[in-house]
Amino acid sequence: MEYRTEHDSMGEILVPADKYWGAQTQRSLENFRIGSEKMPPEVIRAFALMKKAAAAVNCRLGKLDGERAALIARVCDEISSGALDGNFPLAVWQTGSGTQSNMNVNEVVAGRGNAIAGKKLLHPNDHVNMSQSSNDTFPTAMHISAVLGTQQELIPALTSLIDTFRCLEYECAGAVKSGRTHLQDAVPISFSQEISGWRASLETDVAMLRSALEPVRSLALGGTAVGTGLNAPEGFDAAVAQELTRLTGTPFRTAENKFHALTSKDEIVALHGAVKATACDMMKIANDVRWLASGPRCGLGEIVIPENEPGSSIMPGKVNPTQCEAVTMAAVQVMGNDAAVGFAASQGNFELNVFMPVCIYNFLQSVRLMSDSVNSFNRNCARGIRPNREKMRANLYNSLMLVTALSPQIGYENAARVAHLAHAENISLREATLRLGYLDGETFDRVFRPEEMI
């Protein structure tokens, strides 16, 4: 491999000749060989948006000339497109302020920009990082990536699954089945009603996500090192937020209190809480689906789900509810991530939180996992759910809890005696009722209508 010599305030260091990063990136790469987790690409793209917006505002405020501003914008567009992806190699497990990733982006923008210009026009600190500090840029990149990921990936995935469930409610009209509470038989419910519960859960999750997104739209940029705004011109913070709103098509605003914005991560905690709530509901829905589809002969077998791949290396013909299992594993990971996000957010000592890389890494993994697993579950399972109406009816009429329909006629305690007798002697509720003399056959047939109990 060929190298070139780069320098920073600590001296000279060799850098791979085919990469655009500089000395500080190289030092981080060599000093933090920890794990395989790299800074998420969503954070890098958020940095690119922010650096482009900052350059435009610095130019308008007369601090940066037009040529340099245009060059920064061009390279940031390349970063956003993924064209420079091989230039961001740093580990999550680095400085807790994310300084080295901020400098990684600064150096790549400067290096690539100078290569395009054919001369040294850009300095990573003086031009690309103008009016900024790592301490306000990293939390800003966190918020940008969190908003865009939630809004552009997770909410659309949930909305699509909600639409699928709404269609299933219509398609499954008229299918009545036994309800279940405590994993035991309960009174009847229509399958459409059961599905509507799934749909409403996800609609509630989307509403909570949208509500929790609003505080995350506040950006720390402009606070610089400790929140005082040192070296940032007046109006820079608000102008960059407006420029980011224009670039992304979604609202951003400057944080009212930069001291809070640099040290507290409560907005991310709250938004991740809504992501976790989504994971909890997806866990419940996926478990319902795989229980209802259990069998095909020795389980509940009340619904049929798509058969996507063989389920066993030893049992021929076995098919498993694999999409449900993938969703539930993703949900478990999100619940674990919530603990990491919360612990990281609690470490805002004095004027800066220094657990930011691990915080945003876990947050974005949760959004990515939930978005992808919901899309996969929707595409490969939910859209293919079909009711097994015959099995539903058989289970329904075999349920002892249908005796609830008799309570208004014979009373709770007598109805309980009917259920116990039917269960003990393996006879129907009708036979048990007649044997106990509580109703005659004609009256029983008139009041015992399971399909009307929903």
Q: Please, is 339 exposed, middle or buried when counting C-beta atoms within 10 Å of its C-beta (0-12, 13-18, 19+)?
A: exposed
Distance separating alpha carbons of residues 321 and 164, to the nearest angstrom: 18
b/e map 281-294, b = 16+ CB within 10 Å: bbbebbbbbbbbbe
3-state secondary structure of 236: helix
**Catalytic one of 9, 36, 182, 313:** 182
Average pLDDT over residues 321-346: 98
Over residues 230-250, mean pLDDT: 98
Rounded CA Rg of the chain: 30
| Structure confidence at residue 301 (pLDDT) | 97
Tokens coding 238: 């608000």
- The arithmetic mean of pLDDT across residues 331-356, rounded, is 97
Question: What pLDDT is stored for residue 39 in this prediction?
Answer: 98
Q: pLDDT tens for residues 252-269?
A: 999 999 999 999 999 999
Which CATH topology does 144-175+190-216+259-388 take? Fumarase C; Chain A, domain 2 (1.20.200)
Give 253's strand partners.
Answer: 218
Of the pLDDT bands very low, low, confident and very high (cuts 50, 70, 90), residue 141 is very high
**pLDDT for the residue 181:** 97
Task: Single out the catalytic residue among 7, 81, 211, 312.
Answer: 312
Helix (H) or strand (E) holding 331: helix 322-345
Q: What is the mean pLDDT of residues 131-145?
A: 98
Alpha-carbon gap, residue 68 to 119, rounded angstroms: 12
Distance CA 360, CA 142 (A): 6
Q: Which residue type occupies 205? A: D
- Give residues with Cβ within 8 angstroms of 379, minimum separation 6: none
pLDDT band at 377 (very low <50, low <70, confident <90, very high): very high
Which amino acid is located at 50 in the chain?
Answer: M
Q: Residues 25-55: pLDDT tens digits?
A: 999 999 999 999 999 999 999 999 999 999 9
Strand-strand pairing, 303-304 and 386-387: antiparallel
According to the model, what pLDDT value does residue 193 have? 98
Give pLDDT tens digits for 104-120. 999 999 999 999 999 99
3-state SS assignment for residue 107 = helix
pLDDT tens digits, one per residue of 292-320: 999 989 999 999 999 999 988 999 989 99
What is the pLDDT, as a whole number, of residue 1? 87
Instruction: Please say if the pLDDT value at position 380 is more than 90.
Output: yes
Q: Which CATH code is given to the segment(s) 399-452?
A: 1.10.40.30
Express as a percent the part of the chain with pLDDT over 70: 100
- What mean pLDDT do residues 177-205 have? 97
Q: Measure the CA–CA gap between 150 and 182, rounded to whole angstroms.
A: 34
Q: What are phi and psi of 266, to 5 degrees?
A: -65, -30
Q: Is 312 a catalytic residue?
A: yes
Q: Which residues pair with 219 in a beta bridge?
A: 254
3-130, which class in CATH?
Answer: mainly alpha
The CA distance from 319 to 317, in Å, is 6
Mean pLDDT of 186-204: 98
Mean pLDDT of the chain: 97
* Residue 300 DSSP SS3: coil
- Asked whether the beta carbons of 353 and 262 are under 8 A apart, the reply is yes
pLDDT single digits (tens) 361-373: 999 999 999 999 9
Domain boundaries, the chain: 3-130, 144-175+190-216+259-388, 399-452
- Rounded mean pLDDT of 426-440? 95
**pLDDT given at position 424:** 96
Q: What is the pTM assigned to this prediction?
A: 0.96
